[in-house]
Structure 1
Amino acid sequence: MTARDTTSRRERLRQATLRQIHTVARKLLIAQGPSAVTINALAREIGVSGPALYRYYSSRDELIEAVTAGFYHELTTVLEETRTAWASAPANQRILAMCRTLRGWSTAHPAEFSLMFANPHSTTKEPDSDSPRYQAGHKFELIFMEEIVKIWEGQGFPAPHLDDLAPSLRDQLRDYSTKIDGLLPPEALHVFLSAWIRLYGLLCMEVMHQLDFAYSDLEPVFEECLRDICDMFALEYEPPTDPLEPSQT
Protein backbone atom coordinates (compact mmCIF):
# COMPACT_ATOMS: atom_id res chain seq x y z
CA MET A 1 0.00 0.00 0.00
CA THR A 2 1.44 3.37 -1.03
CA ALA A 3 1.47 6.51 1.09
CA ARG A 4 -1.21 7.96 -1.19
CA ASP A 5 -3.42 4.90 -0.65
CA THR A 6 -3.00 5.23 3.11
CA THR A 7 -3.88 8.93 3.00
CA SER A 8 -6.93 8.27 0.81
CA ARG A 9 -8.15 5.56 3.16
CA ARG A 10 -7.72 7.81 6.17
CA GLU A 11 -9.59 10.60 4.43
CA ARG A 12 -12.44 8.25 3.50
CA LEU A 13 -12.67 7.10 7.10
CA ARG A 14 -12.61 10.69 8.29
CA GLN A 15 -15.39 11.70 5.92
CA ALA A 16 -17.45 8.68 6.95
CA THR A 17 -17.04 9.64 10.61
CA LEU A 18 -18.01 13.25 9.89
CA ARG A 19 -21.17 12.06 8.13
CA GLN A 20 -21.98 9.84 11.10
CA ILE A 21 -21.45 12.74 13.49
CA HIS A 22 -23.79 14.91 11.43
CA THR A 23 -26.44 12.18 11.30
CA VAL A 24 -26.34 11.57 15.04
CA ALA A 25 -26.27 15.30 15.81
CA ARG A 26 -29.39 15.74 13.71
CA LYS A 27 -31.08 12.87 15.53
CA LEU A 28 -30.32 14.46 18.91
CA LEU A 29 -31.43 17.89 17.71
CA ILE A 30 -34.79 16.59 16.51
CA ALA A 31 -35.43 14.44 19.56
CA GLN A 32 -34.14 16.66 22.37
CA GLY A 33 -33.34 20.13 21.03
CA PRO A 34 -30.10 22.08 20.51
CA SER A 35 -28.89 21.73 24.10
CA ALA A 36 -28.63 17.96 23.61
CA VAL A 37 -26.11 18.31 20.80
CA THR A 38 -22.81 18.06 22.65
CA ILE A 39 -19.59 16.26 21.90
CA ASN A 40 -20.00 13.92 24.86
CA ALA A 41 -23.58 13.08 23.89
CA LEU A 42 -22.48 12.34 20.34
CA ALA A 43 -19.66 10.16 21.61
CA ARG A 44 -22.10 8.11 23.68
CA GLU A 45 -24.45 7.65 20.75
CA ILE A 46 -21.67 6.71 18.34
CA GLY A 47 -19.91 4.49 20.86
CA VAL A 48 -16.54 6.23 21.11
CA SER A 49 -14.82 8.31 23.74
CA GLY A 50 -15.32 12.06 23.99
CA PRO A 51 -11.61 12.74 23.36
CA ALA A 52 -11.86 10.76 20.11
CA LEU A 53 -14.44 13.22 18.76
CA TYR A 54 -12.37 16.22 19.81
CA ARG A 55 -10.05 15.26 16.96
CA TYR A 56 -12.86 16.34 14.64
CA TYR A 57 -14.29 19.31 16.55
CA SER A 58 -12.36 21.20 19.18
CA SER A 59 -15.45 22.57 20.93
CA ARG A 60 -19.23 22.43 20.98
CA ASP A 61 -19.33 25.79 19.18
CA GLU A 62 -17.31 24.31 16.33
CA LEU A 63 -19.59 21.27 16.24
CA ILE A 64 -22.76 23.38 16.10
CA GLU A 65 -21.23 25.54 13.36
CA ALA A 66 -20.46 22.47 11.27
CA VAL A 67 -23.89 20.93 11.79
CA THR A 68 -25.60 24.21 10.91
CA ALA A 69 -23.43 24.58 7.80
CA GLY A 70 -24.48 21.09 6.77
CA PHE A 71 -28.15 22.05 7.00
CA TYR A 72 -27.50 25.17 4.92
CA HIS A 73 -25.78 23.05 2.27
CA GLU A 74 -28.69 20.62 2.24
CA LEU A 75 -31.31 23.34 1.84
CA THR A 76 -29.27 25.17 -0.78
CA THR A 77 -28.86 21.95 -2.77
CA VAL A 78 -32.62 21.39 -2.71
CA LEU A 79 -33.21 24.96 -3.89
CA GLU A 80 -30.60 24.63 -6.62
CA GLU A 81 -32.32 21.47 -7.84
CA THR A 82 -35.59 23.37 -8.04
CA ARG A 83 -33.94 26.27 -9.84
CA THR A 84 -32.40 23.85 -12.35
CA ALA A 85 -35.72 22.06 -12.89
CA TRP A 86 -37.37 25.40 -13.70
CA ALA A 87 -34.41 26.88 -15.58
CA SER A 88 -36.30 27.19 -18.87
CA ALA A 89 -39.43 28.61 -17.24
CA PRO A 90 -40.14 32.35 -16.85
CA ALA A 91 -38.60 34.08 -13.86
CA ASN A 92 -41.88 34.36 -11.97
CA GLN A 93 -42.51 30.61 -12.15
CA ARG A 94 -38.95 29.79 -11.14
CA ILE A 95 -38.96 32.12 -8.12
CA LEU A 96 -42.38 30.92 -7.00
CA ALA A 97 -41.19 27.31 -7.24
CA MET A 98 -38.10 28.14 -5.19
CA CYS A 99 -40.16 29.88 -2.51
CA ARG A 100 -42.49 26.90 -2.27
CA THR A 101 -39.51 24.56 -2.06
CA LEU A 102 -38.14 26.66 0.78
CA ARG A 103 -41.43 26.36 2.65
CA GLY A 104 -41.63 22.64 1.99
CA TRP A 105 -38.15 21.98 3.39
CA SER A 106 -38.65 24.32 6.34
CA THR A 107 -41.93 22.83 7.49
CA ALA A 108 -40.57 19.30 7.04
CA HIS A 109 -37.45 20.12 9.08
CA PRO A 110 -38.54 22.44 11.92
CA ALA A 111 -35.65 21.56 14.25
CA GLU A 112 -33.08 22.19 11.55
CA PHE A 113 -34.80 25.40 10.45
CA SER A 114 -34.85 26.69 14.02
CA LEU A 115 -31.14 26.03 14.50
CA MET A 116 -30.32 27.81 11.24
CA PHE A 117 -32.66 30.78 11.31
CA ALA A 118 -34.58 31.21 14.54
CA ASN A 119 -31.47 31.26 16.69
CA PRO A 120 -28.66 32.00 14.21
CA HIS A 121 -26.13 32.98 16.90
CA SER A 122 -26.66 30.07 19.26
CA THR A 123 -22.93 29.62 19.72
CA THR A 124 -20.94 31.81 22.08
CA LYS A 125 -19.22 33.68 19.28
CA GLU A 126 -20.20 35.14 15.94
CA PRO A 127 -19.07 33.08 12.94
CA ASP A 128 -16.33 34.80 11.00
CA SER A 129 -16.45 35.21 7.24
CA ASP A 130 -14.13 32.24 6.73
CA SER A 131 -16.15 29.82 8.86
CA PRO A 132 -18.06 26.95 7.19
CA ARG A 133 -21.30 28.25 8.66
CA TYR A 134 -20.84 31.76 7.27
CA GLN A 135 -19.82 30.47 3.84
CA ALA A 136 -22.76 28.06 3.68
CA GLY A 137 -25.18 30.78 4.79
CA HIS A 138 -23.80 33.16 2.18
CA LYS A 139 -24.29 30.57 -0.56
CA PHE A 140 -27.90 30.17 0.56
CA GLU A 141 -28.35 33.95 0.55
CA LEU A 142 -27.10 34.23 -3.01
CA ILE A 143 -29.41 31.64 -4.54
CA PHE A 144 -32.43 33.95 -4.22
CA MET A 145 -30.49 37.16 -4.70
CA GLU A 146 -29.07 35.97 -8.02
CA GLU A 147 -32.59 35.53 -9.36
CA ILE A 148 -33.56 39.04 -8.28
CA VAL A 149 -30.39 40.46 -9.83
CA LYS A 150 -31.44 38.98 -13.18
CA ILE A 151 -34.83 40.66 -12.92
CA TRP A 152 -33.32 44.00 -11.87
CA GLU A 153 -30.86 43.94 -14.76
CA GLY A 154 -33.55 42.81 -17.20
CA GLN A 155 -37.06 44.15 -16.87
CA GLY A 156 -36.39 45.93 -13.57
CA PHE A 157 -38.91 46.49 -10.77
CA PRO A 158 -40.20 49.50 -8.80
CA ALA A 159 -37.81 50.75 -6.13
CA PRO A 160 -37.96 53.79 -3.84
CA HIS A 161 -35.74 56.81 -4.31
CA LEU A 162 -33.02 56.74 -1.68
CA ASP A 163 -33.83 60.29 -0.62
CA ASP A 164 -37.27 59.08 0.43
CA LEU A 165 -35.78 56.64 2.93
CA ALA A 166 -34.65 57.39 6.46
CA PRO A 167 -30.95 58.38 6.63
CA SER A 168 -30.07 55.40 8.83
CA LEU A 169 -31.79 53.03 6.41
CA ARG A 170 -29.96 54.57 3.44
CA ASP A 171 -26.62 54.10 5.17
CA GLN A 172 -27.32 50.49 6.05
CA LEU A 173 -28.47 49.66 2.53
CA ARG A 174 -25.37 51.28 1.05
CA ASP A 175 -23.17 49.30 3.42
CA TYR A 176 -24.89 46.06 2.53
CA SER A 177 -24.66 46.80 -1.19
CA THR A 178 -20.92 47.26 -0.76
CA LYS A 179 -20.70 44.04 1.25
CA ILE A 180 -22.24 42.05 -1.62
CA ASP A 181 -19.97 43.75 -4.17
CA GLY A 182 -22.76 45.83 -5.65
CA LEU A 183 -24.83 42.92 -6.93
CA LEU A 184 -27.85 45.12 -6.25
CA PRO A 185 -27.91 48.88 -5.65
CA PRO A 186 -29.27 50.12 -2.31
CA GLU A 187 -32.74 50.94 -3.60
CA ALA A 188 -33.17 47.48 -5.16
CA LEU A 189 -31.83 45.89 -1.99
CA HIS A 190 -34.55 47.65 -0.04
CA VAL A 191 -37.17 45.84 -2.11
CA PHE A 192 -35.32 42.52 -1.94
CA LEU A 193 -34.91 42.68 1.84
CA SER A 194 -38.52 43.78 2.34
CA ALA A 195 -39.65 40.73 0.37
CA TRP A 196 -37.31 38.46 2.31
CA ILE A 197 -38.60 39.81 5.63
CA ARG A 198 -42.15 38.95 4.53
CA LEU A 199 -41.21 35.46 3.39
CA TYR A 200 -38.87 34.61 6.26
CA GLY A 201 -41.13 36.10 8.90
CA LEU A 202 -44.11 34.04 7.80
CA LEU A 203 -42.02 30.86 7.61
CA CYS A 204 -40.71 31.42 11.14
CA MET A 205 -44.23 31.89 12.48
CA GLU A 206 -45.44 28.77 10.69
CA VAL A 207 -42.53 26.53 11.68
CA MET A 208 -42.77 27.65 15.31
CA HIS A 209 -46.56 27.30 15.37
CA GLN A 210 -47.04 30.94 16.31
CA LEU A 211 -50.21 31.17 14.23
CA ASP A 212 -51.88 27.95 15.35
CA PHE A 213 -54.35 29.97 17.42
CA ALA A 214 -55.95 31.18 14.19
CA TYR A 215 -54.87 28.95 11.30
CA SER A 216 -54.81 25.20 10.83
CA ASP A 217 -53.72 25.52 7.18
CA LEU A 218 -51.25 28.26 6.33
CA GLU A 219 -50.83 27.43 2.65
CA PRO A 220 -53.41 30.05 1.52
CA VAL A 221 -51.68 32.64 3.72
CA PHE A 222 -48.33 31.69 2.24
CA GLU A 223 -49.72 32.00 -1.28
CA GLU A 224 -51.04 35.48 -0.44
CA CYS A 225 -47.53 36.34 0.71
CA LEU A 226 -46.12 35.08 -2.60
CA ARG A 227 -48.67 37.17 -4.49
CA ASP A 228 -47.50 40.27 -2.60
CA ILE A 229 -43.86 39.42 -3.28
CA CYS A 230 -44.59 39.02 -6.99
CA ASP A 231 -46.17 42.48 -6.97
CA MET A 232 -43.03 43.90 -5.36
CA PHE A 233 -40.90 42.60 -8.24
CA ALA A 234 -43.44 43.32 -10.99
CA LEU A 235 -43.91 39.60 -11.59
CA GLU A 236 -47.11 37.75 -12.40
CA TYR A 237 -48.32 35.50 -9.60
CA GLU A 238 -49.36 31.98 -10.58
CA PRO A 239 -50.94 29.39 -8.28
CA PRO A 240 -48.96 26.23 -7.57
CA THR A 241 -48.78 23.42 -10.10
CA ASP A 242 -47.17 19.99 -9.88
CA PRO A 243 -43.63 20.80 -8.65
CA LEU A 244 -42.24 18.02 -10.82
CA GLU A 245 -43.80 19.47 -13.95
CA PRO A 246 -42.53 22.99 -14.71
CA SER A 247 -45.03 24.67 -16.96
CA GLN A 248 -43.90 25.44 -20.47
CA THR A 249 -44.68 28.83 -21.96
Structure 2
Amino acid sequence: MATPGRRERMRAQMSAEVRSAARQIITRQGVDAVTLAEVARRVGVTPAALYHHFEGGLPDIVYQVAEDIVDDLVRTLQSAADAHPEDNFAMRMIEPVRALRSWAITHQPEFNLLFGTPSAAAGDAHAELTSAWVRRLAGVWGPIFVQLWTERRFPVLAEDEMDPRLRQQMLDYGADTGVDLPPGAMVVMLNCWRSLYGQIALEVFGHFAPLFSDQEPMFELLMQELVRGMGLGDQYQPPTR
Protein backbone atom coordinates (compact mmCIF):
# COMPACT_ATOMS: atom_id res chain seq x y z
CA MET A 1 0.00 0.00 0.00
CA ALA A 2 1.38 3.38 -1.02
CA THR A 3 2.30 5.80 1.74
CA PRO A 4 0.06 8.91 1.72
CA GLY A 5 1.79 11.94 0.26
CA ARG A 6 2.27 15.25 2.03
CA ARG A 7 -0.87 16.77 0.48
CA GLU A 8 -3.02 13.82 1.51
CA ARG A 9 -1.66 13.94 5.05
CA MET A 10 -2.38 17.66 5.27
CA ARG A 11 -5.93 17.14 4.00
CA ALA A 12 -6.49 14.36 6.53
CA GLN A 13 -5.13 16.52 9.33
CA MET A 14 -7.33 19.47 8.35
CA SER A 15 -10.38 17.23 8.12
CA ALA A 16 -9.69 15.86 11.61
CA GLU A 17 -9.19 19.36 13.03
CA VAL A 18 -12.43 20.64 11.49
CA ARG A 19 -14.44 17.65 12.76
CA SER A 20 -12.90 18.04 16.21
CA ALA A 21 -13.72 21.76 16.33
CA ALA A 22 -17.31 21.18 15.20
CA ARG A 23 -17.76 18.36 17.70
CA GLN A 24 -16.55 20.57 20.55
CA ILE A 25 -19.17 23.15 19.61
CA ILE A 26 -21.90 20.49 19.45
CA THR A 27 -20.85 19.01 22.79
CA ARG A 28 -20.78 22.33 24.61
CA GLN A 29 -23.45 24.38 22.85
CA GLY A 30 -25.53 22.06 20.70
CA VAL A 31 -25.65 21.45 16.96
CA ASP A 32 -27.54 24.66 16.19
CA ALA A 33 -24.51 26.64 17.42
CA VAL A 34 -22.30 25.20 14.67
CA THR A 35 -21.53 27.66 11.88
CA LEU A 36 -18.91 27.71 9.14
CA ALA A 37 -17.55 30.96 10.51
CA GLU A 38 -17.07 29.58 14.03
CA VAL A 39 -15.51 26.32 12.86
CA ALA A 40 -13.17 28.21 10.52
CA ARG A 41 -12.17 30.57 13.32
CA ARG A 42 -11.27 27.68 15.59
CA VAL A 43 -9.05 25.97 13.02
CA GLY A 44 -7.52 29.21 11.72
CA VAL A 45 -8.80 29.29 8.15
CA THR A 46 -11.41 31.22 6.21
CA PRO A 47 -14.95 29.81 5.86
CA ALA A 48 -14.40 29.56 2.09
CA ALA A 49 -11.34 27.36 2.68
CA LEU A 50 -13.50 24.74 4.39
CA TYR A 51 -15.17 23.95 1.07
CA HIS A 52 -11.86 22.56 -0.19
CA HIS A 53 -12.20 19.77 2.38
CA PHE A 54 -15.99 19.56 2.78
CA GLU A 55 -17.64 20.18 -0.57
CA GLY A 56 -21.11 20.09 0.97
CA GLY A 57 -20.27 22.86 3.40
CA LEU A 58 -21.76 22.88 6.89
CA PRO A 59 -24.14 19.90 6.41
CA ASP A 60 -21.18 17.83 5.22
CA ILE A 61 -19.18 18.76 8.32
CA VAL A 62 -22.10 17.95 10.62
CA TYR A 63 -22.66 14.63 8.85
CA GLN A 64 -19.04 13.59 9.27
CA VAL A 65 -19.03 14.65 12.92
CA ALA A 66 -22.14 12.51 13.39
CA GLU A 67 -20.28 9.58 11.83
CA ASP A 68 -17.45 10.08 14.33
CA ILE A 69 -19.96 10.15 17.19
CA VAL A 70 -21.66 6.99 15.94
CA ASP A 71 -18.28 5.25 15.58
CA ASP A 72 -17.50 5.97 19.23
CA LEU A 73 -20.99 5.04 20.39
CA VAL A 74 -21.07 1.74 18.49
CA ARG A 75 -17.71 0.73 19.93
CA THR A 76 -19.05 1.43 23.42
CA LEU A 77 -22.24 -0.55 22.83
CA GLN A 78 -20.47 -3.48 21.20
CA SER A 79 -17.97 -3.65 24.06
CA ALA A 80 -20.86 -3.75 26.53
CA ALA A 81 -22.46 -6.66 24.66
CA ASP A 82 -19.19 -8.55 24.34
CA ALA A 83 -18.68 -8.43 28.11
CA HIS A 84 -21.20 -11.29 28.38
CA PRO A 85 -21.05 -14.87 27.04
CA GLU A 86 -22.62 -15.49 23.64
CA ASP A 87 -25.34 -17.71 25.11
CA ASN A 88 -26.48 -15.03 27.57
CA PHE A 89 -28.80 -13.40 25.08
CA ALA A 90 -30.64 -11.26 27.61
CA MET A 91 -27.55 -9.53 28.95
CA ARG A 92 -26.01 -9.14 25.50
CA MET A 93 -29.16 -7.21 24.62
CA ILE A 94 -29.53 -5.36 27.92
CA GLU A 95 -25.96 -4.20 28.59
CA PRO A 96 -25.68 -2.15 25.38
CA VAL A 97 -29.03 -0.50 26.19
CA ARG A 98 -27.75 0.41 29.64
CA ALA A 99 -24.66 1.85 27.99
CA LEU A 100 -26.83 3.79 25.53
CA ARG A 101 -28.91 5.24 28.37
CA SER A 102 -25.80 6.28 30.28
CA TRP A 103 -24.28 7.83 27.15
CA ALA A 104 -27.50 9.68 26.29
CA ILE A 105 -27.78 11.20 29.77
CA THR A 106 -24.16 12.38 29.79
CA HIS A 107 -24.00 13.37 26.09
CA GLN A 108 -27.32 15.09 25.54
CA PRO A 109 -26.18 17.44 22.71
CA GLU A 110 -24.81 14.48 20.74
CA PHE A 111 -27.97 12.50 21.52
CA ASN A 112 -30.02 15.42 20.20
CA LEU A 113 -27.99 15.42 16.97
CA LEU A 114 -28.54 11.71 16.31
CA PHE A 115 -31.99 11.16 17.77
CA GLY A 116 -33.62 14.57 18.13
CA THR A 117 -35.38 17.07 15.89
CA PRO A 118 -33.60 17.70 12.56
CA SER A 119 -31.33 20.71 12.81
CA ALA A 120 -30.78 23.50 10.30
CA ALA A 121 -27.03 22.88 10.49
CA ALA A 122 -27.42 19.32 9.21
CA GLY A 123 -29.68 20.46 6.37
CA ASP A 124 -30.65 17.83 3.83
CA ALA A 125 -27.97 15.52 5.24
CA HIS A 126 -30.06 14.79 8.33
CA ALA A 127 -32.23 12.12 6.67
CA GLU A 128 -29.12 10.31 5.39
CA LEU A 129 -27.48 10.75 8.79
CA THR A 130 -30.46 9.11 10.52
CA SER A 131 -30.51 6.18 8.10
CA ALA A 132 -26.78 5.66 8.59
CA TRP A 133 -26.86 5.38 12.38
CA VAL A 134 -29.97 3.18 12.28
CA ARG A 135 -28.01 0.70 10.18
CA ARG A 136 -25.03 0.89 12.53
CA LEU A 137 -27.16 0.26 15.62
CA ALA A 138 -28.82 -2.67 13.86
CA GLY A 139 -25.32 -4.11 13.60
CA VAL A 140 -25.09 -4.22 17.40
CA TRP A 141 -28.41 -5.86 18.30
CA GLY A 142 -29.30 -7.58 15.03
CA PRO A 143 -26.76 -10.44 15.27
CA ILE A 144 -27.85 -11.15 18.85
CA PHE A 145 -31.49 -11.49 17.80
CA VAL A 146 -30.51 -13.64 14.82
CA GLN A 147 -28.53 -16.01 17.05
CA LEU A 148 -31.35 -16.10 19.59
CA TRP A 149 -33.91 -16.87 16.88
CA THR A 150 -31.69 -19.65 15.55
CA GLU A 151 -31.15 -21.30 18.94
CA ARG A 152 -34.23 -20.39 21.01
CA ARG A 153 -37.35 -19.39 19.10
CA PHE A 154 -39.57 -16.82 20.79
CA PRO A 155 -43.28 -16.06 20.21
CA VAL A 156 -43.95 -13.99 17.07
CA LEU A 157 -46.84 -13.02 14.84
CA ALA A 158 -47.47 -15.41 11.99
CA GLU A 159 -46.92 -13.77 8.64
CA ASP A 160 -50.55 -14.33 7.59
CA GLU A 161 -51.64 -12.41 10.71
CA MET A 162 -49.55 -9.37 9.84
CA ASP A 163 -50.72 -6.31 7.96
CA PRO A 164 -49.16 -6.74 4.49
CA ARG A 165 -47.69 -3.23 4.75
CA LEU A 166 -45.97 -4.12 8.04
CA ARG A 167 -44.66 -7.38 6.62
CA GLN A 168 -43.17 -5.58 3.62
CA GLN A 169 -41.57 -2.95 5.84
CA MET A 170 -39.93 -5.66 7.94
CA LEU A 171 -38.61 -7.34 4.80
CA ASP A 172 -37.30 -4.01 3.52
CA TYR A 173 -35.64 -3.25 6.87
CA GLY A 174 -33.93 -6.64 6.86
CA ALA A 175 -32.67 -6.14 3.31
CA ASP A 176 -31.38 -2.66 4.16
CA THR A 177 -29.63 -3.58 7.41
CA GLY A 178 -28.56 -7.15 6.68
CA VAL A 179 -30.43 -8.48 9.73
CA ASP A 180 -31.66 -11.91 8.58
CA LEU A 181 -34.87 -12.46 10.55
CA PRO A 182 -38.38 -13.44 9.49
CA PRO A 183 -40.85 -10.54 9.60
CA GLY A 184 -42.45 -11.63 12.88
CA ALA A 185 -39.13 -11.83 14.69
CA MET A 186 -38.11 -8.48 13.20
CA VAL A 187 -41.25 -6.93 14.68
CA VAL A 188 -40.21 -8.17 18.13
CA MET A 189 -36.72 -6.73 17.76
CA LEU A 190 -37.97 -3.34 16.60
CA ASN A 191 -40.70 -3.22 19.25
CA CYS A 192 -38.00 -3.76 21.89
CA TRP A 193 -35.95 -0.93 20.40
CA ARG A 194 -38.98 1.36 20.14
CA SER A 195 -39.93 0.80 23.78
CA LEU A 196 -36.40 1.26 25.12
CA TYR A 197 -35.65 4.28 22.96
CA GLY A 198 -38.90 5.87 24.09
CA GLN A 199 -37.97 5.36 27.73
CA ILE A 200 -34.49 6.83 27.19
CA ALA A 201 -35.83 9.83 25.25
CA LEU A 202 -38.42 10.61 27.93
CA GLU A 203 -35.65 10.67 30.51
CA VAL A 204 -33.10 12.61 28.47
CA PHE A 205 -35.61 15.29 27.49
CA GLY A 206 -36.85 15.57 31.06
CA HIS A 207 -40.48 14.67 30.42
CA PHE A 208 -40.88 12.89 33.77
CA ALA A 209 -38.85 15.36 35.83
CA PRO A 210 -39.29 16.28 38.60
CA LEU A 211 -41.95 13.63 39.30
CA PHE A 212 -39.34 10.86 39.11
CA SER A 213 -35.88 11.87 40.24
CA ASP A 214 -34.49 8.38 39.60
CA GLN A 215 -35.82 6.71 36.46
CA GLU A 216 -33.50 3.72 36.44
CA PRO A 217 -36.00 1.42 38.25
CA MET A 218 -38.62 2.04 35.52
CA PHE A 219 -35.97 1.49 32.87
CA GLU A 220 -34.86 -1.82 34.41
CA LEU A 221 -38.47 -2.97 34.81
CA LEU A 222 -39.08 -2.38 31.11
CA MET A 223 -36.00 -4.41 30.16
CA GLN A 224 -37.07 -7.26 32.43
CA GLU A 225 -40.50 -7.30 30.81
CA LEU A 226 -39.03 -7.37 27.31
CA VAL A 227 -36.63 -10.26 27.92
CA ARG A 228 -39.31 -12.22 29.79
CA GLY A 229 -41.48 -11.92 26.70
CA MET A 230 -38.75 -13.73 24.78
CA GLY A 231 -38.38 -16.45 27.43
CA LEU A 232 -35.10 -15.02 28.78
CA GLY A 233 -36.22 -13.84 32.20
CA ASP A 234 -33.85 -16.25 33.94
CA GLN A 235 -30.85 -14.56 32.28
CA TYR A 236 -31.61 -11.06 33.57
CA GLN A 237 -28.97 -9.59 35.89
CA PRO A 238 -29.53 -6.34 37.80
CA PRO A 239 -26.99 -3.56 37.26
CA THR A 240 -23.93 -3.59 39.46
CA ARG A 241 -23.53 -0.71 41.87
| Structure 2 length-normalised TM | 0.86
Q: Find the aligned partners of 1:170 and 1:94 in 2 and give their Cα distance.
A: 27
CA positional deviation for 1:219 = 0.7
Q: State the match for 1:245 in structure 2.
A: none
Q: Find the aligned partners of 1:126 and 1:54 in 2 and give their Cα distance.
A: 16
Q: State the match for 2:153 in structure 1.
A: 156
Seq. identity, %: 29
SS for the counterpart of 1:141 is: helix
SS for the counterpart of 1:55 is: coil
Amino acid at match of 1:144: W
CA positional deviation for 1:183 = 0.7
CA positional deviation for 1:139 = 2.1
Report which stretch shifted further, 7-16 or 190-199: 7-16
Amino acid at match of 2:75: T
Q: State the match for 2:99 in structure 1.
A: 101
Say whether the 8 Å CA contact 1:66–1:133 is kept in structure 2.
Answer: no
In structure 2, relative to structure 1, the CA distance for the partners of 1:45 and 1:180 (3 Å cut) is closer
Amino acid at match of 1:156: R
Say whether the 8 Å CA contact 1:65–1:133 is kept in structure 2.
Answer: no
Q: State the match for 1:15 in structure 2.
A: 12
Pair 1:27 & 2:8 matched = no
Task: Give runs of aligned pairs for residues 60-139 of structure 1, distance below 5 A.
Answer: 60-87=58-85, 90-119=88-117, 123-125=122-124, 134-139=131-136
Amino acid at match of 2:124: K
Query: What's the CA shift string for 1:18-55, capped at 9, x where partnerless?
Result: 22222221221133322221222100122221122211
Q: State the match for 1:203 in structure 2.
A: 200
Gapped runs of 5+ residues in structure 2? none
In structure 2, relative to structure 1, the CA distance for the partners of 1:206 and 1:174 (3 Å cut) is same
Q: State the match for 2:183 in structure 1.
A: 186
Q: Find the aligned partners of 1:25 and 1:179 in 2 and give their Cα distance.
A: 30
Say whether the 8 Å CA contact 1:34–1:115 is kept in structure 2.
Answer: yes
Amino acid at match of 1:151: L
Say whether the 8 Å CA contact 1:28–1:36 is kept in structure 2.
Answer: yes
Pair 1:240 & 2:220 matched = no
Amino acid at match of 2:61: L
Q: State the match for 2:141 in structure 1.
A: 144
Pair 1:173 & 2:190 matched = no
Gapped runs of 5+ residues in structure 1? 243-249
CA positional deviation for 1:199 = 0.7
Q: State the match for 1:247 in structure 2.
A: none
Q: Find the aligned partners of 2:132 and 2:88 in 1 and give their Cα distance.
A: 29
Q: Find the aligned partners of 2:213 and 2:164 in 1 and give their Cα distance.
A: 41
Q: Find the aligned partners of 1:171 and 1:68 in 2 and give their Cα distance.
A: 29
| Structure 1 length-normalised TM | 0.84
Query: What's the CA shift string for 1:76-106, capped at 9, x where partnerless?
Result: 0111222233245622222221111111111
What RMSD, in angstroms, separates the aligned Cα atoms of the two structures?
A: 2.5
Query: What's the CA shift string for 1:169-205, capped at 9, x where partnerless?
Result: 2332233234345611111111111111001111111
